Chain A
Amino acid sequence: MCVGIPAKILQITSGVLPMARVSLNGEELDCQLAYFPEAEVGDYVLIQNGFVMDVLDPQAAADSLAAFAELGVLNIPAEAG
């Protein structure tokens, strides 16, 4: 099934294809912001295959990370951020 992993936006690079540098489990990754150009630095976002697919509130991000942690499929902490 499609899997969306919450991450926090650290930096945004504007342009025709805007990009975001995000933090995921202490790792920094670059993602496409084409679907959510209105996202801002500090937002929690849902990433799937390198694209930001939705903006999450902090509680929703924490709930999602807790689900990944509960199943133990990724080495990520249960708390958002």
Chain B
Amino acid sequence: MSVYHLPVKTFDRLPDTMFAGAPFPDVEKLREPYSEEALTSEFQFDGELVQRIVDKGLDIYEDKNELDGWLAVRLHNAIRAPRRLAGDKRFWAWVAVEFAQKYVQMRFSDAGGQVHRWRYTGELLRNAVARLWWGAEMVRDGPSYDLVPVVFARVRTAQFALELKYSWFRPAAMAFARVVEGHDGGARLTDAEMKALSRKVNAYLSLTALEGFGIGMEGEAYDQAWWSSNVTYESLVEGKIEGPNDGHVDAGAVEQLTKWFRELAA
């Protein structure tokens, strides 16, 4: 199907009832075709597939964090968007409103059934769906999504592993998630310990170049075939799911950073 977005000027026209869970069929009146040059690759969007994946996840999981980990991998695999497009909150506002309302409401509604508007229209890590996609993109290692459920194991882990500047550097986001969730063989950190570690990492990075850990990883070929291909519902719910064969991480860099973060956490 065509790719659309919700222009920012339409955000205020989303009715209050929608944020309380009422269907909003009029989204078709607000959306606009995505015409800008962000669609540089042969990106194809399958809204029905997104909706089916969301429904399946809601059927399987009651635990919200487990649901996030499961959905993140599959939504990333189903929405093969270039980062240029995935960096546009207007695109994610459309996806969240038109295809993922059930998930947004189930995952983020308060005791009164209300969801903050920014779970639909907010920045990338606030929008409920974009948050999942970006979480998967930021910690995948080439085609491997192994660490994605780890990042979403706790809301605070996702927050600290994904939202800070060091998170943009894939090996750092991965190492942080491994350490705080105890996937390096060490102890799992409490929320307070996680916060303290993040503070320390930020402080040390004023003197230490994160990029030093990844020297030599530049210049990797883009997996055009993967990004421009389609995926089926069956392969997303039955088979082993593999991401693009690009964005590989230097295992040595992740190990080094993991060791360093563990020392800082001690």
| Bind each other | no
Chain A residues in contact with chain B, CB under 8 A? none
Chain B residues in contact with chain A, CB under 8 A? none
